[in-house]
């Protein structure tokens, strides 16, 4: 803080939503800016309710945090309105950059009709085709949509002016680094954009020298939805046995899973310039950690695992998730 980027370490679904919602409350964030598009779902559990958000920033649980959708983001208008209603946020607290582009039904239709995309296992939400259209300079922008008029903002100016005034800003990355179009090394099994920390700042219009911290979010095991390599992949049966089996929050598809990979963790920390790390779902590999809120309450094996991650990545793990609620977390910053 005051300006942090949240980036996913693997293929998305690391639990970024949980870390963001915790920071919204704990650090009383002034701004949270969501990047990316509707293919990514961020899950927030708070006060017994579960939200899977595709548009509204995960910081919504703090009613004072200004919620913004970045200039580089892609907006699904219906999903936006559905989530504004679902989260019951004050409509004045959320804004969409006027230059964000719009994803339309035709983009989803094109995505689903493409044999290449079927092989890759895209989410079918149309993000690739919508971005193609933006590059062709024929896309609709938020300022072209009459229903969005009341929500239009200049996100780039608001956030940069906020930083000038010493306000705290969190830039909410979506998906995971290894799905990056440019950097993850997995082409063509990638998404339609760069998902790295620099790109997250770029989509929000924040220059690299203004970013203070890059928080990389790891999960205690790895998951991937759709096709493409997953080193160390285990069977669904084995995943069920270990308690690692998950279903995608956005599409309902099975997530494939694998044990934590230290070499990948090191590579992603380095390329993203991570200064801090979060480890979510520690309770999934060490069940006795469930609900712990103090580091000293963790069993020895869990502490050893965290230590090994720190040693091998060079990144201090300052946030540790021990359960689904936003507040089921160990904060080691103080
Ligand atoms: P697309 O982003 O819908 O074009 O899909 C490209 C690839 O990225 C597919 O393997 C998807 O399953 C994956 N993907 C896209 N968004 C997410 C996400 O938020 N979480 C996990 N995987 C994702
Ligand atoms: Mg997700």
Per-residue pLDDT of 88-128, as tens digits, reads 999 999 999 999 999 999 999 999 999 999 999 999 999 99
Pocket of ligand 1 (CB under 6 A): 11-13, 39-40, 120-123, 125, 127-128, 174-175, 179, 191-192, 225-226
* Number of domains making up the chain: 1
CATH classification at residue 295:
3.40.440.10
What pLDDT is recorded for position 313? 98
CB of 70 within 8 A of CB of 202?
no
β-strand pairing of 221-224 with 256-259: antiparallel
Measured between alpha carbons, how far is 124 from 126 in angstroms, rounded to an integer?
Answer: 5
Q: Which two tokens stand for residue 165?
A: 């005034």
Phi, psi of 69 (to 5 degrees): -110, 130
The residue from 13, 76, 97, 194 that is catalytic is 13
> Could you list the residue range(s) of the whole structural domain that residue 180 is in?
3-331
Q: What pTM value is reported for the model?
A: 0.97
Q: Which of 42, 111, 194, 283 is catalytic?
A: 42
Which ligand 1 atom is the nearest neighbour of the CA of 40?
A: 19
Note whether 187 and 179 are within 8 A (CB). no
Give 64's contacts (C-beta < 8 A, 6+ positions apart): 28, 30
Residues in the chain predicted with pLDDT less than 70, given as ranges, are 1
The per-residue pLDDT for 1 is 65
CA 74 to ligand 1 centroid distance, Å: 14
Are 31 and 62 within 8 A, CB to CB? no
Annotation says 76 is catalytic: no
Q: Which two tokens stand for residue 57?
A: 């920033």
- Give dist(CA 16, CA 244) in Å, integer: 17
Quote the pLDDT of residue 159: 98
54 is catalytic: no
Q: How many CA atoms lie within 13 A of 223 on its CB side?
A: 25
In degrees to the nearest 10, what's the CA dihedral of 10, 266, 244, 259? Answer: 120
Three-state SS for 316?
coil
CA angle 116, 35, 180 (to 5 degrees): 40
- The 3-state DSSP composition of the chain as helix, strand, coil percent (nearest 5) reads 40, 20, 40
């Amino acid at each position: 803080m005051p300006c942090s980027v949240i980036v996913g370490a693997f293929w998305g679904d690391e639990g970024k939503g949980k870390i963001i919602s915790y920071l919204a409350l704990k650090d009383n964030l002034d701004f949270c800016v969501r990047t990316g598009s509707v293919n990514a779902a961020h899950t927030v559990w708070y006060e017994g309710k579960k939200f899977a958000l595709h548009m509204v920033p995960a910081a919504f649980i703090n009613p004072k945090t200004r919620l913004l959708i970045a200039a580089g983001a892609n907006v699904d208008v219906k999903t936006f309105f559905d989530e504004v209603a679902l989260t019951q946020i004050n409509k004045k607290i959320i804004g969409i950059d006027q230059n964000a582009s719009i994803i339309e039904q035709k983009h989803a239709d094109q995505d689903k009709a493409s044999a290449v995309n079927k092989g890759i296992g895209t989410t079918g939400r149309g993000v690739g085709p919508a971005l193609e259209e933006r590059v062709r300079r024929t896309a609709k922008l938020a300022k072209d949509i009459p229903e969005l008029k009341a929500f239009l903002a200049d996100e780039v100016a608001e956030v940069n002016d906020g930083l000038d005034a010493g306000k705290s800003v969190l830039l909410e990355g979506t998906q995971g680094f290894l799905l990056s179009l440019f950097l993850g090394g997995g082409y063509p099994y990638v998404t339609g954009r760069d998902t790295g920390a620099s790109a997250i700042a770029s989509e929000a219009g924040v220059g690299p020298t203004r970013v203070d911290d890059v928080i990389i979010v790891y999960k205690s095991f790895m998951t991937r939805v759709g096709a493409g390599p997953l080193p160390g992949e285990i069977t669904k049966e084995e995943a069920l046995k270990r308690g690692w089996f998950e279903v995608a929050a956005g599409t309902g598809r099975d997530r494939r899973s694998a044990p934590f990979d230290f070499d990948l963790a090191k590579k992603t920390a380095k390329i993203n310039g991570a200064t801090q790390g979060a480890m979510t779902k520690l309770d999934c590999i060490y069940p006795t950690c469930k609900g712990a809120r103090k580091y000293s309450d963790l069993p020895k094996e869990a502490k050893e695992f965290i230590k090994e991650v720190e040693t091998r990545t060079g990144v201090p793990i300052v946030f540790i998730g021990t359960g689904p609620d936003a507040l089921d977390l160990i904060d080691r910053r103080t």
